[in-house]
Structure 1
Amino acid sequence: MKMENNERTLVAGSTGSLGLEIVKLLREKNINVRALVLSENESSKVTPYTNDIFIGDASGGAEEIKGLTSGVTTVISALGKSVSLFTPSEDSFFETDYLANKTILEDAVKNGVKRFVYVSIKGADVEKDYSIAKAHKMFENELRASGLDYTILRPVGFFSGLNDLAILAKRKVIPVIGDGTAKTNSIHHKDLAKVVVSYRENGSDIIEVGGPNIYTRMEMAKMIENKIGGQIIKIPTPMAKIGAALPKIFSEGMHDKLDYFTFITTNDMIGEQNGSISFEEYLAGLDLNELP
């Protein structure tokens, strides 16, 4: 398949649910893609779409990814630590979301990359220093100061980010923090990938991105209940905050995730409406056997 001129786009986080969709879309558009993967084992996920694969751990420092962006025109970074409570990781949000992206950015500046598109999160600009939001905020500041042309996309949340509730529903409990009236328009990763790719060449500095439909947290919980079963249980916000503090004794990462989850589920998280895939459609296609 003939590729579009000599321009090359690097996708960091290429094997994640969002990153892989971005790689697929770029391939469909005949755009040369370089995929950054963490290990040889992960490279098989992207080999159907590109043979330009760079294996390296950006959180390990500049030497780990030296030359990564050589010959690259645009960097798209969907690189970040999973916020799922069921996806453990030894790396911190600081290491994965900030340091790794900073190392890629420095390589990009050194190699004359023209543009950098970064997938952050809605809430990165909140005053309280949630560890997850703070890591994104710190990198956003680095990107602004880099001198590169850039776009920062702040999705309000992925449908797949709600899989934790589906996992808990399989275990017969669907927790709703607060009164469940907080609203959001989370987005399917395929719809978000289309938005990300649309800003590959140019676009606004910062965009808050959401999906096509706005739901309350309670409405989404009831959709999960209808699909999977389980009992919806309301957890008072003060109790949830206490609960978020307790795991800090055992796991800093678990504390960070619970703390931020409490914040986003008790505040309206609404972005510019995009895409066409509804939450009901996402749930209908969810293979419960793939969930732990």
Structure 2
Amino acid sequence: MRAYQHPASLRVLVFGATGTAGQGVVRALSAQGQVVTCFVRTPSAIEGDIIGDVTGRIDAGINRNFDVVVSCLASRSGSPDDAWAIDYRAHLRILDLAQKVGAKHFILLSAICVQRPLLPFQHAKLAFEAALIASGITYSIVRPTAFFKSLSGQIDRVRQGKAFLVFGNGALTACKPISDDDLGRFIAGCITDSGRHNRILPIGGPGVAITPIEQGNMLFALTGMPPKFRHVPVRMLDVIQQGLSLAGKVSPKLAAKAELARIGRYYATESMLVLDTATGRYDADATPSTGADTLEAYYASVIAGNTQVYRGEHAVF
């Protein structure tokens, strides 16, 4: 295994740097003293960015070497076409580029949900993980649990006095939410921590795992609103998904909505924790934790108007 240079001398190329997780990684790498270059689609205020499209040729105009490549890139919608185009094929291009520019370490931001793959984007991510592992380059595959932003969709509902929506009894799932900055610091730490090399790394935020109903109670306490929950039967999600799937046979737009319904159903019933393959159960105790940022503090900051929520198409309650 390569003996890494002093962190301040390493040249790091980052993909997906404009997303919230990617921004956290760039902040952490910069604080660590790394020389960071971002591959972006459109020009930004960051000097030295490389402009390009990951769905096309990405090595044009790159005439320098890099020590480490980090990818926080992910498909936006999770639809089959988008997933295979970005989570798999675009990443194969990035891996090829990493080898061409002399990188010795590839750090991939994946997702913990690939442990039980039922959706196209999960299979696409796993296909690239396998390609990365087989490539011979030193790798670190980071699989985080839920992001803060993905658990923020009901803040406004609660502030407006509406019910907090939960599926089933509100305790069907649990997660260890992680902030963008704590995740960024963990990913940056993969560079110099040889214990994170050539490993798949599940990671969550600090504290115990929390359920949706606990998230709701947290919001009610922070806003001063009386607790009010609406329990949505999982069967309702199944009916909606089945109806959209049938309609999707004649309408591409409804087919896309059917896939989003499948994704929603998955997150409503599967925990974002380490899966015990022997028992088939999710294990909170086996899910590593890192950092100090808590979901409660994040909620409080959003409610106070000090933090804005940037939610993506994968946002779930």
Report the TM-score, using the length of structure 1 for normalisation: 0.83
Deviations 1:136-165 (Å, cap 9, x if unpaired)? 112111211211110101011101112333
Which aligned pairs between 1:1-292 and structure 2 lie closer than 5 A?
6-40=9-43, 43-44=44-45, 47=46, 51-59=47-55, 61=56, 63-66=57-60, 68=62, 70-82=64-76, 92-128=82-118, 130-166=119-155, 169=158, 172-181=162-171, 182-201=173-192, 202=194, 203-204=196-197, 205-213=199-207, 214-227=209-222, 231-247=228-244, 249=248, 250-270=253-273, 271-286=287-302, 290=308
Q: Which has the higher contact order (CA 8 A, sep 6+)?
A: 2
Amino acid at match of 1:159: F
* CA shift for structure 1 position 196: 0.7
Cα distance in 2 between the residues matched to 1:186 and 1:5: 30
- Map Cα deviations across residues 86-126 of structure 1 (whole Å, 9 max, x no partner): xxx99722222222222111111223210100010012132
Structure 2 Cα separation of the partners of residues 268 and 52 of structure 1: 40
What amino acid maps onto 2:211 in structure 1? T
2:290 and 2:220 mapped to 1: Cα distance?
Answer: 26
Identical columns (%): 25
Deviation at 1:11, TM superposition (A): 1.0
CA gap 1:96/1:219 in 2 versus in 1, 3 angstroms: same
Deviations 1:150-198 (A, max 9, x none): 0101011101112333355467353212222122111111111111111
Contact 2:205 2:289 in 1 (8 A): yes
Summarize the Cα distance change of 1:37–1:148 in structure 2 as closer, same or farther, 3 Å threshold: same
Moved more, 188-197 or 64-73: 64-73
Q: Classify 1:5/1:154 alpha carbon distance in 2 versus 1 (closer, same or farther; 3 Å).
A: closer
CA contact (8 A) 1:11 1:77 kept: yes
For 2:88, what is the secondary structure of its paired residue?
Answer: helix
Report the AA paired with residue 239 of structure 2.
Answer: I
Cα distance, 1:94–1:165 mapped onto 2, change above 3 Å: farther
Of residues 234-243 and 161-170 in structure 1, the stretch that sits farther from structure 2 once superposed is 161-170
Per mean C-alpha deviation after superposition, the further-off stretch among 159-168 and 223-232 is 223-232
**Contact residue 113 and residue 122 of structure 2 kept, 8 A:** yes
- Over 3 Å counting, the alpha-carbon distance change for 1:144 and 1:246 in structure 2 is farther
Going from structure 1 to structure 2, the CA distance change for 1:245 and 1:225 (only over 3 Å counts) comes to: farther
What SS does the aligned partner of 1:75 have? strand
**CA distance in 2 between partners of 1:34 and 1:183 (Å):** 36
Q: Work out the CA distance in 2 between the residues paired with 1:165 and 1:95.
A: 31
Please state how far the C-alpha of 1:211 moved relative to its aligned partner: 0.8
| Whole-angstrom CA distance in 2 between matches of 1:69 and 1:173 | 55
The structure-2 alpha-carbon separation of the partners of 1:107 and 1:262, relative to structure 1 and needing over 3 Å to count, comes to same
CA offset at residue 7 of structure 1? Answer: 2.4
Cα gap change, 1:252 to 1:54, in 2 (>3 Å): farther
Q: CA deviation at 1:83?
A: 5.8
CA distance in 1, matches of 2:186, 2:254: 35
Give, in whole Å, the separation in 2 of the partners of 1:184 and 1:83.
22
Change over 3 Å in CA distance of 1:283–1:56 after alignment to 2: same
For the 8 Å contact 2:28–2:181, the answer to whether it is kept is no
**TM-score, normalised relative to structure 2:** 0.77
Change (3 A) 1:19 1:251: farther
Q: Residues 19-70 of structure 1, C-alpha deviation per residue, up to 9 Å, x if partnerless? A: 1121122112221111111112xx13xx2xxx221111102x2x24435584
Q: Which runs of 5+ in 2 are unaligned?
A: 1-5, 274-286, 312-317
CA-atom RMSD, angstroms?
2.9
Does the C-alpha gap of structure 1 residues 142 and 273 become closer, same or farther in structure 2, counting only changes over 3 Å? same
Change (3 A) 1:5 1:227: closer
Amino acid at match of 1:242: V
Larger radius of gyration: 2
Q: Which runs of 4+ in 1 moved over 6 A?
A: none
